Amino acid sequence: MENALIISDTHFPYEHPDTFDFLEDVSYAYRLTKIMHSGDMVDNHTGSYHEIEYGTLSPKEEHYQSKEKIQRLNKMFPKMDVIIGNHGAMSRRKAKTAGIPEDILKSYNDMYEIKGWDWKDKFYFEVDEYAKCLLVHSMGANTLSNARNHSHHSIQGHHHGRFGVEFFGDTEVLRWSMTVGCLIDHQAPAFNYGSKATLNRPIIGVGAIIDDDPRVIRMQLDKHGRWNGKA
């Protein structure tokens, strides 16, 4: 398959401040041409079912800023397979709670005024002549168990503090599973809930498939939490 970039958990507009520069450099440096996003493109903090944190944006401003960032990413990567994710689906979940019929809701491309992206809950794609891979927002937190328990390779996001590839092999199969980390700004007030629930820090980075082989590429951060520019 062509070399792939797997972006995850950008949580616009609360993404890491170096997200766009990092994605541009990594995709160029590793010649990644098939672009995927494993979910939570947007945070939808004000639309969530949880308490709204102090210091976050108004609903209108949050949507406006998210839309701007999605349009910027759409210009960088005009074709993308996008997993919706639990945060991404928030407006549809709220509409469902309110009993609003699905057929009067806008598509994601219309909502963000973009073209060319395909939004789904999951995708399967061919990696090589032997195996398919499932791209989804969340499976189990244990990457090795995911490799062991499913009949295909798999890629997930969602678990912001988990980042890596695990392989499972027996006499019949050799399978891998990848958990991609995230691209959030963990200082943003929208993530205060996470800092109380766990001491684990998010791992900032992306996934890739290069020559049919799964990799994770960490954003190397300096002591101020900014990218050091190495791809």
Which stretches of the chain bind Fe ion, using CB under 5 A? Answer: 9, 40
What residues does 209 pair with on adjacent strands? 4, 214
Q: Is the CA virtual torsion 207, 56, 45, 49 positive or negative?
A: positive
- Provide DSSP, 92-132: HHHHHHTT--GGGSPPHHHHTT--SEEEESEEEEE-SSS-E
Residue 18 or 40: which CB sits closer to Fe ion? 40
Give the shortest CB-40-to-Fe ion separation in angstroms: 4
- Closest CB to Fe ion: residue number: 40
Give the shortest CB-182-to-Fe ion separation in angstroms: 6
Give the shortest CB-110-to-Fe ion separation in angstroms: 23
Residue 175 or 190: which CB sits closer to Fe ion? 190
Residue 56 or 175: which CB sits closer to Fe ion? 56
Residue 9 or 185: which CB sits closer to Fe ion? 9
- Provide DSSP, 154-175: EEE---TT-EEEEEEE-SS-EE
Give the shortest CB-82-to-Fe ion separation in angstroms: 14
Contact indicator for 158, 9 with CB cutoff of 8 Å: yes
Q: Which two tokens stand for residue 76?
A: 């960088």
